[in-house]
Structure 1
Amino acid sequence: MGTEPYKAAFFFSPPAHLLRSSILLWLPLLFISEAAVAHGDDQERFVLFDIKSHWSNAPALSSWDVSSPHCNWSGIRCSNGSVTSMSLPNISITEPIPPFFCNLTSLAHLDLSYNDIPGGFPTCLYRCSNLRYLDLSQNLLVGELPSDIHKLSSQLLHLDLSYNNFIGDIPPSIGRLLSLHTLNLHDNFFDGSFPAELGNLSMLESLTLAYNPFASPRIPVEFGNMTRLKYLWMTYANLVGEIPEDLGRLADLDHLDLARNGLSGSIPAAIWSLEKLTTLYLYDNKLTGEISGKIAALNLEEIDVSTNRLTGSIPKEFVNLRNLRILFMYNNSLSGEIPRGIGLLRDLRDIRLFDNHLVGVLPPELGQHSHLTNLEVSNNRISGSLPEGLCANRALKSVVVFNNNLTGELSASLADCYGLNDIQLYNNNFSGEFPRRIWSASVNLTTVLIDRNHFTGVLPDKLQRNLTRLVMNDNRFSGRIPTLAPRLLVFRGSNNMFSGEIPAELTGISRLQVLLLDGNRISGSIPTSISNLKFLTQLDLSGNLLSGGIPAKLGLLEVLTKLDLSNNRLSGSIPREIGNLKLSLLNLTYNQLSGEVPLQLQNRAYERSFLFNPGLCSFKRMVNLNICAHAGPNKLSERLIPISLVLGGVMFLMLVVTGMLMCRRRSDAADLPAFKLTSFHQLDFTQRHIIRGLTEANLIGSGGSGQVYRVNLQNRAGDAVVAVKKIRNSGKLDWKMERTFEAEVKVLSSIRHCSIVKLLCCISSADCKLLVYEYMEKGSLDQWLYGRRRTRSGSGHFQPPLDWRKRLGIAIDAAKGLCYMHHHCTPPVIHRDVKSSNILLDSGFGAKIADFGLARMLMKVSEPESASAIAGTFGYMAPECGHSKKINEKVDVYSFGVVLLELTTGRKAQDGGEHEGLAGWAARRLRDKGGFMGMIDEELSDELNYMDDIGTVLRLGIECTRRNAMLRPSMKEVLRKLTDIVGLGR
């Protein structure tokens, strides 16, 4: 049949009555069709409204308004009128995914990342049969992944579960999601294994398993079957064994990161043949052997194989890596020379080859053909001179070549690098005049370490203001000491030929910690302005030509530990204020001092500190010192008579008091309740003195775990004050709980550290426990931070705010206490409740850690577990505390990080907005704004000299409060970073 009949039929015009009948026939069908569409729309709208109701705490969903089409709602995308995409990242969702979620039957794209969704893996998503993209990263999901996870959509291309709290094994069934292109499981707590079945994912392009505490797995050879894989990230996954040669079959691999594991054996030759490989990270393993095989991966941009046990030489073929930007091979046992052609690579930015056995000279073309920013080849056996063109492209920021055999003069062209901030040339054989222009050319210069060379020259009148460390001892510098940089922390200028006087303008460098100018030709007197250096810990001016007296104001340097003024021409007496210092080293020998040595210094610790000062004398017998004339036999007897009388009177009083106490003890026995005292230190009080002090007038604080009293033991010698925490049992302790409590008290009482509050004793009865601590006069840190502490004297005046120096000192003291507990106690002690109210301050604002959770243990006598299972206070509590019993010392690191954020921002731990604590607020604010200035406590806004330090501590607080415990530093690392700020120097 042709087409014409169809045309005729198409243009046929029916009679009017048939047309009316046709309309009547089709009209109901039309209404039914429109109703069906409307019903579908309504159904999806109802589902979305149910989701909005379920996630009612998410303020962003308030824009979902019934008056507008749901396909126009925020985060919703539709196709043909059906919801196909929901993208709601970072909107503070705090409830689980509801079971009716997949009633959105066309949903293909779901992004709920950066929220606080709790619970286990949402198996309700199995019903989303069209799902192709699923991102649940950065949430609070817990537990194990279900063994039937393969029931997710067979069309799934992207699965991201990173930055959650999953544990256990990665189930083998995940290898049945054959359509996957991306599988991100990094930054969880998987502590089991990952399956070889992952190798079945032949379509996979990206696999991330990094930062999980797996149970020492090996890399399966089956991983070589993922032939489309481009990105493999397995850093910090506890990997062991050798890298399988089968990874060489991943021809499309672009990024391979197996760093920070326990991998051994050699690097497979096949790895170096991956032609598309651009990034190779194998650092921090136990890899051995030489780099061998054909280097065919000519697209390599970054190589980091540092901190292994590699031997042999740097392959000459590396000169053919035309795209190479980063070459890190430090901390190995490499030998031979650096290939000369390395200096011809046009993209090379950073080369770090330190801590090896390299010889020969540096490639002379280094810096001439590329924007080289960093050169580090220290601790090798490299000879020759520094390449002339290091700063040819003015990009160099750091040159670190110490502990080599380098010679020659330093090129003045280094001053052309305006961004240069770090020069470390010490312990070489450099000679000639140090280029004067370097001191002023680079405004970013912070570190100059050039000691133990043969440099000559003079320093400028003023040093670069950003300089923090200047170490130039054991050279041949001459001239006057310049006006020191205001930010300088360390100045070591020993054993040079400096002359003239010490500049009096020392007030502007109040942050200086170390000042060593011994072995020079400095003359004049010691300026009294040296007392402005409040942070000074070491002062050595020995071996100079100084004259005049020792300034009494040196006694104001409270943190000074080493003082050496020997071999000068100092005269006069030793100021008695020097005796107030807590010195580990004091050397005043070979001077012209006279008079009596201060009484505080007349002890064996300092008996050799005053030799060869003929005019000095002492009351006590000391090496090579005369007995002072006024302390002869007659004078001595005159002193002893009143002393004897006083001692006799004291002894008589002690006898009387002892008798009274014995009588009182007998009478006390009848009226004392059944209290048991367990002492951990030598005590000069009894339980009666403590119990009688528990009055309303002595109450200084109360909380959920009990009351705290300030008890003045006025009836004892010394008028001692103690703090008593009274904890009332919520029920009768059974014998197991009692023994557990006593055992834990015994552990904590054995801790002896100056940054931990001393637990003196425990007094027990059937219904309460009394914990007796040393009294901390300034109270708790939180009372000072938030400006609400009133003096107990009743004056009603608010205490002044804490300045930055006090805050930093408090942070360091508290870190010392926690570091001791974590790293020096056996077994380690975890505090579990670090917070600003548990950091107490003494009269000098020294900080001590207090309250180790014993109170909480007593409050929960019905629970079978001891304090070991009890964790934290809201705002300070690490994310893992809410779901895992396998907590470790990183929970304390998290809590301490919150304290650092309190110290720097002035905000409370719970003050992070409606749905997050301070830690979440700080991380988000820094991420969104990119700077910290708007986050700093207003009370610190005037301390402009310390802004960099405040920012450093703030960032450290954010680092300590990372959600993944594995990424947090240890307390040893935290303490090191804090003390680096103080800058004791090398």
Structure 2
Amino acid sequence: MASSILVKVCMLISFVLYVQQVFSSSNTSEAAALLKWKNTLQNETQSRLSSWTFHPNSQSNSSANRSLSTIPCTWFGISCDPAGSVIQINLTRIGFQGTLHGLSFSSFSNLAHIDLSVNSLFGTIPHQIKYLSKLTFLDLSSNFLSGEIPPEISLLANLKYLSLFENQLNGSIPKDIGHLNSLTTLFLYTNHLDGFIPTSLCNLGNLTLLYLYNNQLSGSIPKDIGSLKFLTELDLSANQLDGFIPTSLGNMKNLSYLSLFQNKLSGSIPKEIGHLTSLINLSLYENRLEGSIPISLKNLRNLTLLYLYRNKLSGSIPKEIGNLAHLMEIDWSMNQLHGSIPASLGSLRNLSYLYLFQNKLFGSIPEEIGNLTHLTAIDLSMNQLHGSILASLGCLRNLTRLYLHRNKLSGSIPEEIGN
């Protein structure tokens, strides 16, 4: 009986030593990989990582203890799991200078979080990033990274947050990016990306934030983009996108921010946009949109900003726009709108900017405009408005800019303007 217990105790001790050795070996490998990377970085960065160093355990000669002393869990910017394996590297905003090529990604089997944003990283994103199979968060934004986004990034099946904005990345968005089924945030804006928006992107059913603006993307917006039903913010502005605005956008009932400005979009504004009842900001300016402003926009009761300027929109201003009580900024200038300015605009009591210049509007300025006491800017210039300048404009005590030139206004300038 005693010998049996002794055997079991020995087996248990052997198992504990084995586990310790495995953990020690893994931790040593991770520490060695970090130290090797540190040695490739520029001197200033190395000095900021002074805690990244090997300290032998002077009180023990055992290999196990010497290995355990290299666990990097106390190093600056490094976090570990209970077993001592690296799960997070957070070195944001430290003046980091260097590349990612000195880092052995295959050494970090448990790494879930990398944040190297707002630094001076340069060079390309290594293809070896594919080895970080447990990665859920990757932020390399606001650096000087160049080259293409490696297609291997699409293999990171657990990735939820991907941010590469404000770099110098070029080439196209990986066509298989739609394989990242867990992704909730995708920020690729302010790079030099070109080519089409991959249709596979429409498979990212968990996506809530999609920012691709300020690139050189071309082609049309994928017609099935409306399948991203959890999306709350979509910004594809400042690209070279053409074609129509997909009607499927109307399926994005959670969308609060829609920005498609400064592209080459044509056709009409889909009436389905009126289904986006959560929308707060709608910016479609500087495109080639035509047709009338859809009456369905009256349903966007939460809208605060509506920018449609510099298009080819025609028809009259829908009087139903007066239902949008939260509107603060209207800019529909530089279109081909005609008809009169609806008196219902006087219901928009939160309005601070009203820009309707360079259209074909006629009739008189509605008396109700004098009710908009929050207005700071009115520009109705370059239309065909006639009649007199309203004395009620003198009630707009917050007004700093009033442009009425190049119309057919008559009569005298009212004394109330002096207010």
Specify the alignment match of 2:286 in structure 1: 307
Give the drift of 1:352: 1.3
Question: 1:342-361 residue pairs with structure 2 within 5 A?
Answer: 342-361=321-340
Matched, 1:62 2:50: yes
Residue of structure 2 aligned with 1:32, choices 9, 17, 20? 17
Matched, 1:74 2:76: yes
Specify the alignment match of 2:276 in structure 1: 297
Checking the alignment, whether the CA contact within 8 Å between 1:257 and 1:282 is kept in structure 2 is yes
Give the drift of 1:397: 1.5
Give the drift of 1:19: 12
Give the drift of 1:86: 0.9
Question: 1:158-237 residue pairs with structure 2 within 5 A?
Answer: 158-192=161-195, 195-199=198-202, 201=204, 203-213=206-216, 237=217
Specify the alignment match of 1:381 in structure 2: 361
In the alignment, the residues of structure 1 paired with residue 12 and residue 283 of structure 2 have an alpha-carbon distance, to the nearest angstrom, of: 74
* Letter aligned with residue 143 of structure 2: N
Checking the alignment, whether the CA contact within 8 Å between 1:363 and 1:387 is kept in structure 2 is no
Checking the alignment, whether the CA contact within 8 Å between 2:306 and 2:330 is kept in structure 1 is yes
In the alignment, the residues of structure 2 paired with residue 155 and residue 287 of structure 1 have an alpha-carbon distance, to the nearest angstrom, of: 35
Shift in CA distance, 280/357, structure 1 to aligned 2, threshold 3 Å: same
Specify the alignment match of 1:279 in structure 2: 257
Shift in CA distance, 101/282, structure 1 to aligned 2, threshold 3 Å: closer
Question: 1:967-986 residue pairs with structure 2 within 5 A?
Answer: none
Pick 1 or 2: higher relative contact order, CA cutoff 8 A, min separation 6. 2
In the alignment, the residues of structure 2 paired with residue 248 and residue 27 of structure 1 have an alpha-carbon distance, to the nearest angstrom, of: 58
In the alignment, the residues of structure 2 paired with residue 351 and residue 416 of structure 1 have an alpha-carbon distance, to the nearest angstrom, of: 17
Specify the alignment match of 1:88 in structure 2: 91
Shift in CA distance, 177/330, structure 1 to aligned 2, threshold 3 Å: closer
| Segment drifting more, 23-32 vs 338-347 | 23-32
Give the drift of 1:172: 3.7
Specify the alignment match of 2:114 in structure 1: 110
Checking the alignment, whether the CA contact within 8 Å between 2:386 and 2:410 is kept in structure 1 is yes
Shift in CA distance, 415/60, structure 1 to aligned 2, threshold 3 Å: farther
Question: 1:602-641 residue pairs with structure 2 within 5 A?
Answer: none
* Letter aligned with residue 90 of structure 2: S
Alpha-carbon RMSD: 3.8
The number of equivalent residue pairs is 396
* Letter aligned with residue 80 of structure 2: C
Question: 1:496-515 residue pairs with structure 2 within 5 A?
Answer: none
In the alignment, the residues of structure 1 paired with residue 243 and residue 19 of structure 2 have an alpha-carbon distance, to the nearest angstrom, of: 70
Please state whether the residue corresponding to 1:431 is helix, strand or coil: coil
Give the drift of 1:54: 3.6
In the alignment, the residues of structure 1 paired with residue 222 and residue 9 of structure 2 have an alpha-carbon distance, to the nearest angstrom, of: 75
Give the drift of 1:190: 3.4
* Letter aligned with residue 161 of structure 1: L
* Letter aligned with residue 431 of structure 1: G
Deviations 1:667-718 (A, max 9, x none): xxxxxxxxxxxxxxxxxxxxxxxxxxxxxxxxxxxxxxxxxxxxxxxxxxxx
Deviations 1:33-67 (A, max 9, x none): 68535565555444444444443421432355778
Specify the alignment match of 1:408 in structure 2: 388
Shift in CA distance, 268/421, structure 1 to aligned 2, threshold 3 Å: same
Please state whether the residue corresponding to 1:356 is helix, strand or coil: coil
Specify the alignment match of 2:58 in structure 1: none
Matched, 1:126 2:130: yes
Shift in CA distance, 206/20, structure 1 to aligned 2, threshold 3 Å: closer
Question: 1:609-688 residue pairs with structure 2 within 5 A?
Answer: none
Deviations 1:596-648 (A, max 9, x none): xxxxxxxxxxxxxxxxxxxxxxxxxxxxxxxxxxxxxxxxxxxxxxxxxxxxx
In the alignment, the residues of structure 2 paired with residue 317 and residue 108 of structure 1 have an alpha-carbon distance, to the nearest angstrom, of: 45
* Letter aligned with residue 32 of structure 1: L
- For structure 2, the residue ranges without an aligned partner over 5 or more in a row are 56-68
Checking the alignment, whether the CA contact within 8 Å between 1:391 and 1:414 is kept in structure 2 is no
Specify the alignment match of 2:397 in structure 1: 417
Deviations 1:752-807 (A, max 9, x none): xxxxxxxxxxxxxxxxxxxxxxxxxxxxxxxxxxxxxxxxxxxxxxxxxxxxxxxx
* Letter aligned with residue 224 of structure 2: D
Checking the alignment, whether the CA contact within 8 Å between 2:173 and 2:195 is kept in structure 1 is yes
* Letter aligned with residue 48 of structure 2: A
Question: 1:826-905 residue pairs with structure 2 within 5 A?
Answer: none
Shift in CA distance, 29/284, structure 1 to aligned 2, threshold 3 Å: closer
Checking the alignment, whether the CA contact within 8 Å between 2:209 and 2:232 is kept in structure 1 is no
Question: 1:704-783 residue pairs with structure 2 within 5 A?
Answer: none
Shift in CA distance, 349/414, structure 1 to aligned 2, threshold 3 Å: farther
Give the drift of 1:351: 0.9
In the alignment, the residues of structure 2 paired with residue 100 and residue 415 of structure 1 have an alpha-carbon distance, to the nearest angstrom, of: 68
Shift in CA distance, 430/268, structure 1 to aligned 2, threshold 3 Å: farther
In the alignment, the residues of structure 1 paired with residue 248 and residue 376 of structure 2 have an alpha-carbon distance, to the nearest angstrom, of: 36
In the alignment, the residues of structure 1 paired with residue 366 and residue 95 of structure 2 have an alpha-carbon distance, to the nearest angstrom, of: 55
* Letter aligned with residue 215 of structure 2: N
Give the drift of 1:84: 0.8
In the alignment, the residues of structure 2 paired with residue 45 and residue 288 of structure 1 have an alpha-carbon distance, to the nearest angstrom, of: 55
* Letter aligned with residue 57 of structure 1: E
Shift in CA distance, 102/89, structure 1 to aligned 2, threshold 3 Å: farther
Please state whether the residue corresponding to 2:189 is helix, strand or coil: coil
Give the drift of 1:347: 0.5
Shift in CA distance, 115/416, structure 1 to aligned 2, threshold 3 Å: same
In the alignment, the residues of structure 2 paired with residue 143 and residue 121 of structure 1 have an alpha-carbon distance, to the nearest angstrom, of: 8
Checking the alignment, whether the CA contact within 8 Å between 1:366 and 1:387 is kept in structure 2 is no
In the alignment, the residues of structure 2 paired with residue 61 and residue 266 of structure 1 have an alpha-carbon distance, to the nearest angstrom, of: 51
Checking the alignment, whether the CA contact within 8 Å between 2:206 and 2:228 is kept in structure 1 is no
Residue of structure 2 aligned with 1:325, choices 304, 307, 321? 304
Specify the alignment match of 1:431 in structure 2: 411
In the alignment, the residues of structure 2 paired with residue 111 and residue 186 of structure 1 have an alpha-carbon distance, to the nearest angstrom, of: 17
Give the drift of 1:403: 2.5
Give the drift of 1:373: 0.9
Deviations 1:845-878 (A, max 9, x none): xxxxxxxxxxxxxxxxxxxxxxxxxxxxxxxxxx
Checking the alignment, whether the CA contact within 8 Å between 1:309 and 1:332 is kept in structure 2 is yes
Identity level (%) = 33
Please state whether the residue corresponding to 1:337 is helix, strand or coil: coil
Give the drift of 1:355: 2.6
Shift in CA distance, 436/72, structure 1 to aligned 2, threshold 3 Å: farther
In the alignment, the residues of structure 1 paired with residue 371 and residue 270 of structure 2 have an alpha-carbon distance, to the nearest angstrom, of: 33
Deviations 1:202-243 (A, max 9, x none): 555544443333xxxxxxxxxxxxxxxxxxxxxxx2x245x5
Larger radius of gyration: 1
Shift in CA distance, 47/249, structure 1 to aligned 2, threshold 3 Å: closer
In the alignment, the residues of structure 1 paired with residue 247 and residue 28 of structure 2 have an alpha-carbon distance, to the nearest angstrom, of: 62
Specify the alignment match of 1:156 in structure 2: 159
In the alignment, the residues of structure 2 paired with residue 26 and residue 369 of structure 1 have an alpha-carbon distance, to the nearest angstrom, of: 80
Please state whether the residue corresponding to 2:343 is helix, strand or coil: coil
Shift in CA distance, 398/158, structure 1 to aligned 2, threshold 3 Å: same
Shift in CA distance, 208/412, structure 1 to aligned 2, threshold 3 Å: closer
* Letter aligned with residue 281 of structure 2: E
* Letter aligned with residue 376 of structure 2: K
